[in-house]
Chain A
Amino acid sequence: MTETTLIRGASLAGGERADLLLRDGVIAEVGTGLSAAGATEVDAAGLVALPGLVDLHTHLREPGFEQSETVLTGSRAAASGGYTAVFAMANTSPVADTAGVVEQVQALGQQHGYVTVRPIGAVTVGLQGTQLSEIGAMAGSRARVTVFSDDGVCVSDPLLMRRALEYVATFDGVIAQHAQDPRLTEGAQMNEGELSGVLGLAGWPAVAEESIIARDVLLAEHVGARLHVCHVSTAGSVDVIRWAKARGIRVTAEATPHHLLLTEQLVAGHGDGHGHGADAAQHRAYDSRFKVNPPLRRAEDVAALRAAVADGTIDIIATDHAPHPVEAKECAWDEAANGMVGLESALSVVQAALVDSGAIGFADVARLMSSAPAAIGRLDGYDAPLAAGGPANVTLYDPAVSRAFGTADLHGKSVNSPYLGRTLPGRVVATFFEGRPTVVDGVLREPEEVSRG
C-alpha cells in the first residue's frame, strides 16, 4: 500500500481548516501548508473532513438473502455513504451463530476492500430465543465478534436475557437488543395511535419497546453487564435510558436516521413536516417504503429522539440498513417486509434532522457516527478522529449542496429507500478506507479497483 493522498484545506469537525496527508494507510500528518512529492492532491475547500463512519447496525443479507444484498453490494452502499466500517447483523441464512458463518462474512468484507466488515453474532441459536449460540467461539474466531444480537427478534425470555448478558460480558462483548415485547406486538403494522385506528392497521405500542428496555437496563444493572439498545424509537424509551444512565447503568443506545426525520404521518400519505421543500409533502397512503420495525412514530417521539441525541442520552446513530427486493414492497401494507435502506442517505438525513437546526455540530456527528459506535463494538482505530498516526479512514463531505435523492444515489442491490424523490442536503465527495479511496469526486470506485482479493 503505497498510495499517498494530500487532502488540502478541509474543514475539520471543530471548524478549523487543515491539510491531511494520508500515506501507507495512516494519517501521516495533519497541519497547514503540507506538501508531499508524488501525492495525489484532493482540493477539499468547503468540504468537512470526518473520520470514516462506523455503522453498528447493517444488514448485509449474505449468506442466504443475496437477492436483497451481498457483502460486496452492501459494502459499496456503505462506502458511498461515507462509511469505512459496518457491523453486519446476524439474521442471515444460515444465521450467524457459529464461527464458520462469521468468519466467512468477515473474510468477504476484507476481500472486497470497501469497508471493514465486523459480523455481529446471534445471541441464540437460529435466533430462536431458546439456547445460547456459540458466543465464545465467535468471539475467539478470526472475525473477533464483540457484538451479539438477535436483531429482528427480541430476546424476550427474561432468564435467557440475563444469562446472555452475563455470558457475553465474559468475553467483553455487548448484547444489542431489539426491544420489542412479542406478545404486545402480535401482527403489529405501525405505531399504535389515533392514526393506526383510522387506517385499520394493527398497532405497535410504544410500551412494547419501553417495557423491554426497562427490564433490560435493570437486568444489566443486576448482573453488571453492558447493554446496547438498538433503534430507540419512542420518547418513553428515551426517558427510561436517561434514568438508567443517571443511575450508572452501563447502557448505550442508538437511533436510526429515519426515526430522527420521518413520522407515522407518512403511512397515511401525509407530509411529515420535516421535509425540505414541497416535494416531501405528498405521498400515497399505505406506501410500504415507510414500513419499518420499530415503526415510524409521532412527531413528539422524533423531537424527543433529537433532544436525546443532542444531550448524549442516545450515544450513536446507526442505519439499520435493511435491503429488500422490489417484490417484498410491491404489495399490500401488511404483506410488505419491514425495513429501509439507509447507508447511502444517513449522513444527509442526520444533517437535515440535527445539524441544519443547530442541535449538533460536525464534531458531534463524528462522535455519533464514528468514534462512539466503534467504542461500543470494540473496533480499533477510531478513538482519535483524524489524529496523525491513526488509520487513514476519512470521509469528505460537502454540506453546502442539496440533491434530489434518487435511485442513482443508491449503490446496494435494493431501492427501498424512504427518501426517493425527497430533497436532502449534503453529499459525500470522497471516502478513504485505510488510505485508499473508495469514493472519489462523489463517484464510487469499481470493485476491481478496490478489491484486495
Chain B
Amino acid sequence: MRHLLSTRDLSRDEAVGILDVTEDMAEVNAREVKKLPTLRGKTVVNLFFEDSTRTRISFEAAAKRLSADVITFSAKGSSVSKGESLKDTAQTLAAIGADAVVIRHASSGAPAVLASSDWIDAAVVNAGDGTHEHPTQALLDAFTIRRRLHGDASRGRDLDGVRVTIVGDILHSRVARSNVWLLTTLGARVTLVAPGTLLPFGVGGWPVDVHHDLDAALAEGPEVVMMLRIQSERMHAAYFPTAREYAREWGLTDDRLARLAPGTLIMHPGPMNRGLEISATAADSPASTVLDQVANGVSTRMAVLYLALAGAEGAGA
C-alpha cells in the first residue's frame, strides 16, 4: 500500500488484510510494553490543517508505538494559517525528510492532490479531507464490528451479511462515505437514515438502502447502529428546523434504545452530542462501542502506517 486516500480504492482482500494486521497491532497494544521497533528511523509527519485532537493523538500514539519519529504540524499558529500553500508546506516536509504524511485538511481531495503531486515523495495517509473521506475511521469501525461479532475468530473474515444502519448528517460526513464504501466492500448491507436535506444528491446511485424513518429502519433489526455527529451550525442553514425536532426524529433516544434487539452495537465516531443524536444512556450502555473505537483506532493506524512504510517486506496487503 503506497498511500491510503480512500476506502473506495480498497478491494475486499486488501481490506481484510489491513484488518488482520490491525489484529496483530491490537495484540501489541494488549502487552505491557506497547512498542515495536518496526519504523525506527522513519519520520511520520502529522499535518493537521484542521483541528482534530482525537485523530491527531491517535495517529501520534500509533506512530510512536511503531518507534517512528513523529512531527506534528498543526495549522493553528503556524505558517499554514498565515497563508502558506499546501505545495510549500509539502515541499518543506519533503526537505525535512518525511517518510509518511498523515494529512487532515478541510478541502476534499487535498490528500489526493498531495499524493499525486511531485512536491513530496512520502506515503500519504488521509486523516480526513473535507466532506470526502476518513478511511482510517472506517477501518477502525469495521475492525470494531468484526471483533464484537467474531471475537478471536475474526482473522481472515469479512462482514458478509452484517446489517449496518448509519444515521444522521450523511451529506457532510466523510466518516459515512468511507464506511459506505468499506463496509459494502466487506459484504455488509448498509442503510442510511437521514432527512432529505442531509443526504447527498445522487445517493440513489450508492450501493445502500436509504430511509427517512429511523423507527422503520431500526425495526428491521440491524446488527449495528452508527450515529453521526450533528453540527449545530447545520440547523441555522435550514437543514432541519430545531435540535429538538432532530433529536425526536433521528436521535437514538432512550425509547429507541429500549427497542433495539439485544446485542445490537451502538457506534459513534465522536465527539458525541449527548442528548442530540444520542442519549446519554445509549452512549454509556454496554452496547456502545465508543471507547472500543478509540482503542481500536490506535491499532488501525499502526497497521496503516506499517503497511504504508514497511508493508512491502511485511505481511498483509
Contact = CB atoms under 8 A, between A and B. Distances in A.
A198 B177 contact: yes
Nearest to A285: B112
A188 B116 CA distance: 24
Interface in A278-299: 284-286, 288
A218 interface: no
Contacts of A334: 107-108, 130
B202 A200 contact: no
A332 interface: yes
Given A199-B132, A201-B108, A327 B202 contact: no
Contact of A203 (B8, B105, B201): B201
A285 B174 CA distance: 17
A331 B87 contact: yes
Listed from nearest, the 9 A-B pairs whose CB atoms lie closest are A197-B200, A194-B202, A200-B132, A286-B109, A332-B107, A200-B108, A200-B131, A284-B116, A332-B110
Interface in B194-219: 200-206
Instruction: Determine which residue in A192, A197, A201, A205 has the highest number of CB atoms from chain B within 10 A of its CB, and name it.
Output: A197
Nearest to A203: B201
B112 A200 contact: no
Contacts of B131: 200-202
A205 B200 CA distance: 12
A331 B108 contact: no
Nearest to B180: A198
Interface of A: 189, 192-203, 205, 284-286, 288, 327, 330-335
B23 interface: no
A318 B303 CA distance: 52
A261 B67 CA distance: 51
Contacts of A196: 200-202
B109 A332 contact: yes
Contacts of A195: 202
B201 A197 contact: yes
Contact of B201 (A193, A288, A333): A193
B281 interface: no
Nearest to B114: A332
B133 A200 contact: yes
B87 A330 contact: yes
B272 interface: no
B60 interface: no
Given A200-B132, A334-B130, 14 more contacts: A192-B201, A192-B202, A193-B202, A198-B177, A198-B202, A199-B109, A200-B108, A200-B109, A203-B201, A284-B112, A286-B112, A331-B87, A332-B86, A334-B108
B232 interface: no
A331 B85 contact: yes
Contacts of A286: 108-110, 112-113
B141 interface: no
Interface string B52-82: 0000000000000000000000000000000
A27 B204 CA distance: 59
B169 interface: no
Nearest to A195: B202
Contacts of A200: 108-109, 129-133, 174, 177
Given A200-B133, A201-B108, A332 B113 contact: yes
Nearest to A202: B131
A333 B202 contact: no
A288 B117 CA distance: 12
A330 B116 CA distance: 12
Contacts of B107: 332-335
